[in-house]
Chains A and B, each alone.
Chain A
Amino acid sequence: MKIRAVNVIRPALTAVYTVAAVLLQCSVFPHIRFLGAIPEITLCVIVCDSCFENEKFSCILAVCAGFLLDTLGGDGLTLSPLFFLLAAAFSIFLSRRVYFNKALPAAASGLAALLTGAAKTAVILSLRGAPFGSAVINSAMPQFLYGVIVFVPVFLLTLLHHRIFKDKEREGRRP
């Protein structure tokens, strides 16, 4: 099997972006809070990549990113690998099976994942003793809103990244 350079560079860059997103979420965004919330930028990157990247690679990246995120900035629970894998699988399912490689499923799955992520936060907080309503209003909703704000540029950058490398791959196939 012949391995093209673009087939290595693109996933490698995707992995680098994902690690950068984890570091941003752990170290930079805590300083730029919106209504006290930190956006799930890693989740946004995972969902967007899953729409365009190889399925197997996306799943592995989702598990690794989730583990790295919980290790560097987690609160003791290591639920992100499973959560990110399910988000990536949902994104893959929407983009490849339902909407046939269109950009819309990325947005839809991204919003769904962010909403689920916010719900997860509310559930964890309420399990730890916070009133559920208060957890939704004060933590989950700001987190979701901030996630949506961050999702738009992440989606556009991912789209750009995959367009650039896709074009190069096509050029390589020309005789």
Chain B
Amino acid sequence: MKFFKSKFFIITLIVAVSVAAVFTAMSLLGYSSLVKSALHYITLPAQKLADTVGRAVDGYTAYFSEVERIKRENEELRAQIDEMLDEVQSAKAVREENEELRRMLEVKQEHLDYKFEPVDVIGREDGNYMTVFTLGKGKKNGIERDMPIIASNNGLIGRITDAGETWAKADSIIDMGSSVGAFVERSRASGIVVGEYELGLKGLCKLSYLQSDADIEVGDRILTSGVGSVYPRGLIIGTVTEVKYDEGLRTKYAIIKPYAQISGLSSVMVVTSFEKYVEE
């Protein structure tokens, strides 16, 4: 207890009180003291160093405190990206649909006597022997059995095999049992396009019953002849990829690659009405 009664402690206490009073009063009155300025000047390098350390620590701690915010932001951005990807996807689908409709319009303008019914392909059954498309429209929309179906590029796909009120089934020209009267666009040589099992597996069909001297070459376009009244005349069936000679029948035949992209169809056009071809 002696120490607290000693002159030293009392003087120190008085000094502390005086310093507190004087400097507080000076600060409150707006006077900047010389001593404070000097102290600032002396400690400036150390302060700068400490501040640099502080900023480094701040950057380090900020990294951790920012992690949560960055995580949230990342999730938000991911959600935005997903949303934008959806939009891009739907825009792509709309563009493709638009493109298809435009092509359909071109086909319509090309064949003014045709009446079309655009239909979505709502199902596709890939069997061992044939491919059957299920279409989203039926008799209600005027679709009947044996009506031809074409793709938006004017290529023949096949025909309706069965029709309900709101649905229809169709097969394609590459299926076994299919036969379409056809001719070579360049030379007018005629024949019948038929589907064969092995060719069908490769997405091809066959132009048979050509004369042995028929003028046909690889690359020739094959069109529907209109004979039989099932198909209108002039629809593109495909292009010749190979020409062969059948020794038994003594006829030529050709392998045809269909013009319409039969696999992966999303919509087709059913030709509900057309002017029948009358052979002269």
**Interface of A toward B, CB cutoff 8 Å:** 19, 23-24, 26-32, 55-56, 59-60, 63, 66-68, 70-72, 76-82, 85, 89, 92-93, 96-97
Tell me, in angstroms, the Cα distance from A55 to B61 when the chains sit together. 39
B24 touching A76, Cβ below 8 Å:
yes
Nearest B residue (CB) for A30: B54
User: Contact check: which of B1, B46, B55 meets A97 at CB < 8 Å?
Assistant: B1
Residue B81, interface by CB 8 Å: no
B17 → chain A, closest Cβ, in Å?
6
B24 touching A79, Cβ below 8 Å:
yes
User: Contact check: which of A26, A71, A85 meets B12 at CB < 8 Å?
Assistant: A85
B23 touching A59, Cβ below 8 Å:
no
Known: A30-B54, A85-B13. Contact between A78 and B24, CB under 8 A?
yes
User: Contact check: which of A28, A66, A97 meets B57 at CB < 8 Å?
Assistant: A28
A23 touching B12, Cβ below 8 Å:
no
Residue B28, interface by CB 8 Å: yes
Nearest B residue (CB) for A92: B3
Q: Could you pull out 28 A-B pairs where Cβ atoms are within 8 angstroms?
A: A23-B49, A27-B51, A28-B53, A31-B54, A31-B58, A59-B9, A59-B12, A63-B12, A63-B16, A72-B40, A72-B43, A76-B24, A76-B28, A77-B24, A78-B20, A78-B24, A78-B27, A79-B20, A79-B24, A81-B20, A82-B13, A82-B16, A82-B17, A89-B4, A92-B3, A93-B4, A96-B3, A97-B1
Nearest A residue (CB) for B58: A31
**Interface of B toward A, CB cutoff 8 Å:** 1, 3-4, 8-9, 12-13, 15-17, 19-20, 22-24, 27-28, 35-36, 39-40, 43, 46-47, 49-51, 53-55, 57-58, 61
Nearest B residue (CB) for A85: B16
Tell me, in angstroms, the Cα distance from A26 to B50 when the chains sit together. 8
Q: Which residues of A contact B24 (CB under 8 A)?
A: 76-79
B19 touching A63, Cβ below 8 Å:
yes
Known: A77-B24, A77-B27. Contact between A72 and B19, CB under 8 A?
no
Q: Which residues of B contact A70 (CB under 8 A)?
A: 23
Nearest B residue (CB) for A27: B50
B90 → chain A, closest Cβ, in Å?
48
B23 touching A78, Cβ below 8 Å:
yes
A72 touching B47, Cβ below 8 Å:
yes
User: Contact check: which of B1, B8, B17, B39 meets A59 at CB < 8 Å?
Assistant: B8
List of 7 A-B pairs having minimum Cβ-Cβ separation, nearest first:
A27-B50, A78-B23, A31-B58, A23-B50, A28-B54, A31-B54, A76-B27
Q: Which residues of A contact B50 (CB under 8 A)?
A: 23-24, 26-28
B274 → chain A, closest Cβ, in Å?
83
A66 touching B28, Cβ below 8 Å:
no
Nearest A residue (CB) for B55: A31
Tell me, in angstroms, the Cα distance from A72 to B1 when the chains sit together. 34
